[in-house]
Amino acid sequence: KNGKYEEIDHKQSPNYDSQFCMLFPRVFSPEANHVSAYKTWTNFKGIPINYVMGDGSVQKIYKPTFFENIKFFVKYQVGFMYFRYFMWNFAGRQNDIQGHGNILNGNWISGIPFLDEMRLGPQDYLPEPLNSNKAKNVYFMLPLLLGLIGMYFHYLKESKGFVIVMLLFFFTGIAIVIYLNQTPYQPRERDYAYAGSFYAFTIWIGLGVASLYQLLSKKMPAMLTAGAITAICLFAVPAVMAKQNWNDHDRSNCFTARDFAENYLESCDPNAILFTNGDNDTFPVWYVQEVEGVRTDVRVVNLSLLNTDWYIEQSKRKAYESEPLPISFTYEQIAGERRIYVPVVEQIKNRVDVGKIVEFVKSDLQEAKVPVSQTEMINYVPTKQFSLKVDSLKVLNNKTIKISQANRMVQVIEWNITKNFLYKSELTILDILSNNKWNRPVYFAITVGGDSYMNLDDYFRLDGMAYRLTPIKSANKDGQTGWIDTDILYNNLMNKFVWGGIERKDVYLNENNMRMTMNFRNNFARLASALINEGKRDSAIKVLDRCMKVMPAETVPYNVFILGIMEAYYRTGEMAKATAILEKMMKITEGELDYYLSLDKEYLSMVNNETKRAMSVMQELSRLTRTYSQPELNKKIDDKFKIYYEKFVTLFPQG
């Protein structure tokens, strides 16, 4: 500014109390779910320390012991977050569902029954769809054994070369584990971080072939030995791995990333603002806009990046057919750490318009700030009660809502926030809402997550893959987000949306794709239910049939999200279709409960939640057959449920 550099960040390093410092700290995160996981992985007891807080009070805090830190390092960071991935590559993998330590998801397996059962319980009769998961790959430890043979051979024949490869193996593996110091509940599997270590081990696999050749060539002719060893090793390792891995690494005919991204955009009206969150939401959408030119009128706003000054500044510019975002914050007001977060200090108990809140937060006056230390004052939000005026004429003219819905329209959107602080991204959202003045449609992707909706979700309308902010308050009593305009949602789901090949039996759908299909099934079920409520039975049946066609059970296995489809079929009178789904779901649920309730006691606690969920599904199936007059089927389900319930209360006496 003015030709001079100006310091905008005042970053500080935390000053840790020496009482809580130790050599090689591994247990450190204060987040509640991390604390819970630390206790689970270490059987935490800790050392009690009476600590004097800032206000002078004394609080007893339990400090993790050095042994507990080492235990977490060995069991979780090395065992679960490295060795498990190592064994995926050279022994086998249970499935592609991210695991956090239970026996059902993401573990390594070998395909050798007694080895797997010692750690995970029986694997031969896992419930569906786990048993038929395409990413269930077993190599019988053959790559591992060949690598260990090669490692020993390398050590004997050339110890210096062995040390070099071992250093590569260590520094691209365990050394990274030490450096990262990962917390529990990582957002995704982190096997890619250690790829270099796995590459190093494959050097020893290659040397294992050479060692077998040298061993057998002493007893057989060289040419015969070379041919035999090559054939045996080729069949035992690469051929087995190719056979096991092909179906879950084949991406042919799968266009879900591209097509689902288009669905996000097609959920929006022209010149919309679409808030997304994170890589999986945003990058495919940017691809279809930047490369294929799809719906470049929609401005995609990544909420993760909206905490940065450069991205906010970039958003003020026109991009393709999308107009600049209506942001009033100047660069000086949001540069670097400025207003990275602002506390909420309730000094006003009345509702305040978001425009006035933003102007207050932008102020550099001392009365607009609160002290956070003896030397620093920062801006704050003076209330938790927000309001946003509605331009009634404008929202009708630009078809935010229909004229027939005008009697439901509010004149002012009123909502409360529950957080004690707002991030820069949230302040920017408020700024956009205030300055937009209902000129452009505003959407939140349905995968954004409730924390980012800023408690505006009472005014959302479900338009497909996005919720639109509207001046109509939802009256939902089922816990679902957003009200439904059946004309809009029907047109999007039935005419605009594309499905990326998920209806094909030969297409592999990974865990991320499967999570997306849950959203789609839920949308179809909600639309069908809304159509039934409006007396549009034929349209509801078309919606349900379309859902079953694009997401058949063979490619998208049934789960709790099929229950809404099932009940909608019942409500339309399509009893045969509903019953077919119910019987299949009943079979899946029985398989789950048979497996869970047959496990040894050491594994039972690990599947407590899954068992309860399956029991709840069976109760819902009982309710449906009772409600829609299927007494024989209802009795069959109730009899089964009674048997399972008696087993359940015996094994889990406290529920």
Digit-coded pLDDT (tens) for 13-29: 778 888 899 999 999 99
Amino acid at 318: K
Taking residues 291-298, what's their average pLDDT? 97
pLDDT in tens, 155-179: 999 999 999 999 999 999 999 999 9
Structure confidence at residue 54 (pLDDT): 73
d(CA 124, CA 132): 11
Structure confidence at residue 654 (pLDDT): 63
- Whether 100 is in a domain gets the answer no
- Whether 120 is in a domain gets the answer no
**Domain co-membership, 285 together with 356:** yes
**Domain co-membership, 351 together with 235:** no
Q: Quick check: 613 and 560 in contact, CB under 8 A?
A: yes
| 47-56, 213-222, 325-334: range with lowest mean pLDDT | 213-222
- pLDDT higher than threshold 70 for residue 186: yes
Q: Which two tokens stand for residue 505?
A: 């039996």
Taking residues 31-44, what's their average pLDDT? 94
Boundary (domain end) residue, out of 416, 451, 478 = 478
Q: Quick check: 49 and 61 in contact, CB under 8 A?
A: yes
- pLDDT higher than threshold 90 for residue 389: yes
How many separate domains does the chain show? Answer: 3
| 10: confidence class by pLDDT, cuts 50, 70, 90 | low
**Domain co-membership, 244 together with 275:** no
Taking residues 355-378, what's their average pLDDT? 88
- pLDDT higher than threshold 80 for residue 458: yes
What is the DSSP annotation of 393-457? Answer: HHHHHTTSS-GGGGGGB-SEEEEE---SEEEHHHHHHHHHHHHHTTSS-EEEETTS-GGGTTT-G
* Nearest to 344, CA basis, from 386, 305, 302: 386
Q: Quick check: 420 and 343 in contact, CB under 8 A?
A: yes
d(CA 241, CA 9): 52
442-445 vs 273-276, strand pairing mode? parallel
Boundary (domain end) residue, out of 230, 249, 268 = 249
The chain-wide mean pLDDT, for the chain, equals: 93
* Nearest to 391, CA basis, from 433, 444, 329: 433
**Domain co-membership, 379 together with 242:** no
Higher pLDDT, 213 or 489: 489
* Nearest to 436, CA basis, from 481, 388, 399, 480: 388
- Whether 483 is in a domain gets the answer no
Q: What angle do CA 87, 93, 98 make, to 5 degrees?
A: 105
d(CA 481, CA 489): 14
Compute the residue count for the chain.
655
Q: Which two tokens stand for residue 31?
A: 């987040």
- Whether 272 is in a domain gets the answer yes
Taking residues 199-224, what's their average pLDDT? 88
Taking residues 523-544, what's their average pLDDT? 98
What are the phi and psi torsion angles at 79 (to 5°)? -65, -50
- Whether 418 is in a domain gets the answer yes
Taking residues 539-562, what's their average pLDDT? 96
Axis crossing angle, helix 354-362 with helix 424-436, rounded to the nearest 10: 130
- Whether 102 is in a domain gets the answer no
Structure confidence at residue 124 (pLDDT): 80
- pLDDT higher than threshold 80 for residue 37: yes
- pLDDT higher than threshold 70 for residue 1: no
Q: Quick check: 255 and 501 in contact, CB under 8 A?
A: yes
**Domain co-membership, 283 together with 240:** no
The C-alpha R_g of the chain, in whole angstroms, comes to 29
For residue 559, what are the domain limits?
Answer: 491-651
What are the phi and psi torsion angles at 43 (to 5°)? 50, 50
**Domain co-membership, 185 together with 333:** no
Structure confidence at residue 392 (pLDDT): 95
Higher pLDDT, 432 or 16: 432
Q: Which two tokens stand for residue 526?
A: 């909600």
Structure confidence at residue 449 (pLDDT): 83
Q: Quick check: 300 and 274 in contact, CB under 8 A?
A: yes
Q: Quick check: 346 and 384 in contact, CB under 8 A?
A: yes
* Nearest to 588, CA basis, from 561, 608, 568: 561
352-353 vs 385-389, strand pairing mode? parallel
φ/ψ bin of 510: left (φ > 0), alpha (ψ from -120 to 50), beta (otherwise): beta
**Domain co-membership, 245 together with 260:** no
**Domain co-membership, 549 together with 597:** yes
- pLDDT higher than threshold 60 for residue 655: no
**Domain co-membership, 267 together with 186:** no
Structure confidence at residue 224 (pLDDT): 76
Report the percentage of the chain scoring pLDDT > 70: 99
Taking residues 599-605, what's their average pLDDT? 86
What is the DSSP annotation of 471-499? Answer: SB----SSS-SSB--HHHHHHIIIII---
Structure confidence at residue 109 (pLDDT): 97
Q: Quick check: 461 and 472 in contact, CB under 8 A?
A: yes
**Domain co-membership, 291 together with 233:** no
- pLDDT higher than threshold 70 for residue 554: yes
**Domain co-membership, 416 together with 515:** no
- Start-to-end Cα distance in the chain: 65
d(CA 504, CA 555): 7
Taking residues 635-640, what's their average pLDDT? 97
Helices (H) and strands (E) in the chain, counts: 25, 16
Report the percentage of the chain scoring pLDDT > 90: 79
What's this model's pTM, rounded to 2 decimal places? 0.92
- Whether 217 is in a domain gets the answer yes
- Whether 126 is in a domain gets the answer no
**Domain co-membership, 280 together with 171:** no
Boundary (domain end) residue, out of 426, 449, 478 = 478
